[in-house]
C-alpha cells in the first residue's frame, strides 16, 4: 500500500496532469469532492464526498457510493430511497482532486433527497443588493415523507 | 452583518431546503465548493472554491471569480489567460453548501489551465485490480507554455 490509500503517490504537477497514473488527492479527512452529472442530459444532479472506500465500492458495484460526513460512514446512494445511481463513467480533473461521475439515475430518477431530479433546483439572484433564491425546475418525482423514516437520514 | 458573512443565517433543515433565503454554508475556512458547467453543452468544465468575496465579485461583474487556496487570494478566472467565464446563472443545492455556475466560456473556450475545454479530460479505469487514467476529449485549444509566465500560477 502506498501512502495515498492504495493509489499512486502524487509527485510533480506535470506528472499529475498528463499521467495515466491515478493519484487522487484526498483531503486531510481522506475525502475527495464528487460531482454527479446525468449521462443523458449532461445536467449536474448532486454533489457529495468520496473516500477511498467509496471509490472502490463504486467501481466494484457500478453504483455510486459516497462517504456521509454526518453519519461518518460509507453510503450507497439510494440505499433507503431506491434512487440508485448507475455509474457509466468516472472522470477526474487536471490536478486529480475532484471526481466526476456520469450516471443514469434508477428508481424514479430523483437524485435529490427532496424528491427532485437534481439538487440544484434554486437559482441565486441578487437584486438591489439583496440576495434571494428562486425555485426553478423543482417538480418532485416523489414525496420525501413517503420515502424516509423520520429517524432515518435521507440517502 | 449576520454571522454568515452577510448572507442569511442557517436555521432548520426545512428552512434551508425550501426557502427563498440564500444562506450558503461556508466551511471553517470560509469556502464553498463551486462547480462550473457550460450553459451550451451542459458539460462540467471545472471545479473551484468560492468565498463570500468571490460570490460578491461574480455577481458584481457577471464573470466567474473564485478563491485560490494556493495563493490565498481572490482570483478572477482568466485574469492571466484571458479565458474568462461569463456567468449566465448561479444555482445552489438543497442544503445550500455547493454553488453551480452555468457559464459561457470566453477567449478560446478553454476553461482548463492545461488549454483544454474542460478539466475533466481523463477517465478513471479499473482493470484487473489496477487503476489507470485514460485520456478522453483532450484536444488543447491553447498551449499553456504560451499563456502563463513560468513564475505565474495558472489562472
Q: What is the pLDDT of residues B38-90, one digit of tens each?
A: 999 999 999 999 999 999 999 999 999 999 999 999 999 999 999 999 999 99
- φ and ψ at residue B113, rounded to 5 degrees: -65, -10
Whole-angstrom distance, CA of residue A87 vs CA of residue A64: 6
Q: Cβ(A66)–Cβ(A34) under 8 Å?
A: yes
In sequence order, the β-bridge partners of residue A38 are: A103
Question: What's B48's DSSP letter?
Answer: E
Summary mean pLDDT of chain B: 92
Among A41, A50, A94, A95, which would you mutate to test the B interface (most chain B Cβ atoms within 10 Å of its Cβ)?
A: A94
User: Is pLDDT at B8 greater than 60 in this prediction?
Assistant: yes
For residue A6, the model assigns a pLDDT of 84
Confidence bin at B146 (pLDDT 50/70/90)? confident
For residue B145, the model assigns a pLDDT of 83
Among B13, B120, B130, which would you mutate to test the A interface (most chain A Cβ atoms within 10 Å of its Cβ)?
A: B120
Nearest CA in chain A to B45: A93
For residue B42, the chain A residues in CB contact (below 8 A) are 37, 41-43
Put simply, the answer to whether B120 touches A92 (Cβ < 8 Å) is yes
Cell of B82: 484571458
A vs B, Cβ pairs < 8 A, gives 113
For residue A118, the model assigns a pLDDT of 97
Whole-angstrom distance, CA of residue B86 vs CA of residue B62: 6
CB atoms closer than 10 angstroms to residue A55:
26
Among A6, A47, A112, A150, which would you mutate to test the B interface (most chain B Cβ atoms within 10 Å of its Cβ)?
A: A47
Show pLDDT as tens, one digit a residue, over chain A (155 residues). Answer: 446 878 999 988 878 999 899 999 999 999 999 999 999 999 999 999 999 999 999 999 999 999 999 999 999 999 999 999 999 999 999 999 999 999 999 999 999 999 999 999 999 999 998 999 999 977 899 988 887 765 555 65
User: E strands of chain A, at which residues?
Assistant: 32-38, 44-50, 65-68, 73-76, 85-92, 99-105, 122-127, 130-135
Put simply, the answer to whether B43 touches A42 (Cβ < 8 Å) is yes
Grid look-up 504537477 returns A13
Confidence bin at B20 (pLDDT 50/70/90)? very high
Burial-class residue A68 by CB neighbours within 10 Å (0-12, 13-18, 19+).
Answer: middle
Confidence bin at B19 (pLDDT 50/70/90)? confident
The ipTM is: 0.93
For residue A2, the model assigns a pLDDT of 47
Nearest CA in chain A to B41: A42
CA-angle at A80, arms to A70 and A69, nearest 5°? 15
Burial-class residue A149 by CB neighbours within 10 Å (0-12, 13-18, 19+).
Answer: exposed
For residue B39, the model assigns a pLDDT of 96
Put simply, the answer to whether B92 touches A124 (Cβ < 8 Å) is yes
User: Is pLDDT at B29 greater than 50 in this prediction?
Assistant: yes
Whole-angstrom distance, CA of residue A90 vs CA of residue A100: 6
Nearest CA in chain A to B13: A114
Whole-angstrom distance, CA of residue A79 vs CA of residue A68: 12
For residue B2, the model assigns a pLDDT of 47
Whole-angstrom distance, CA of residue B58 vs CA of residue B65: 5
For residue B154, the model assigns a pLDDT of 62
Cell of B12: 432548520
User: Is pLDDT at B124 greater than 70 in this prediction?
Assistant: yes
User: Is pLDDT at B140 greater than 60 in this prediction?
Assistant: yes
- What DSSP line would sit under B66-128, residue for residue? EEETTTTEEEETTTTT---EEEEEEEE-TTS--EEEEEEE-TTS--STTSBS-S--EEEEEET
Alpha carbon of A113: minimum distance to chain B alpha carbons (Å)? 8
Amino acid at each position: 500500500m502506498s501512502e495515498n490509500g492504495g493509489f499512486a503517490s502524487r509527485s510533480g504537477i506535470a506528472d499529475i496532469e498528463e499521467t495515466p497514473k491515478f493519484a487522487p488527492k484526498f483531503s486531510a479527512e481522506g475525502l475527495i469532492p464528487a460531482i454527479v452529472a446525468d449521462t443523458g442530459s449532461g445536467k449536474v444532479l448532486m454533489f457529495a464526498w468520496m473516500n477511498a472506500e467509496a471509490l472502490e465500492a463504486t467501481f466494484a458495484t457500478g453504483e455510486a457510493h459516497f462517504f456521509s460526513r454526518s453519519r461518518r460512514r460509507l453510503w450507497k446512494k439510494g440505499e433507503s430511497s431506491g434512487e440508485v445511481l448507475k455509474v457509466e463513467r468516472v472522470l477526474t480533473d487536471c490536478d486529480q482532486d475532484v471526481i466526476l461521475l456520469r450516471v443514469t439515475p434508477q428508481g424514479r430518477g430523483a437524485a435529490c433527497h427532496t424528491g427532485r431530479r437534481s439538487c440544484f433546483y434554486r437559482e441565486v439572484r441578487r437584486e438591489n443588493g439583496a440576495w434571494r433564491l428562486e425555485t426553478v425546475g423543482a417538480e418532485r418525482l416523489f414525496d420525501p415523507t413517503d420515502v424516509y423514516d423520520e429517524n432515518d437520514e435521507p440517502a
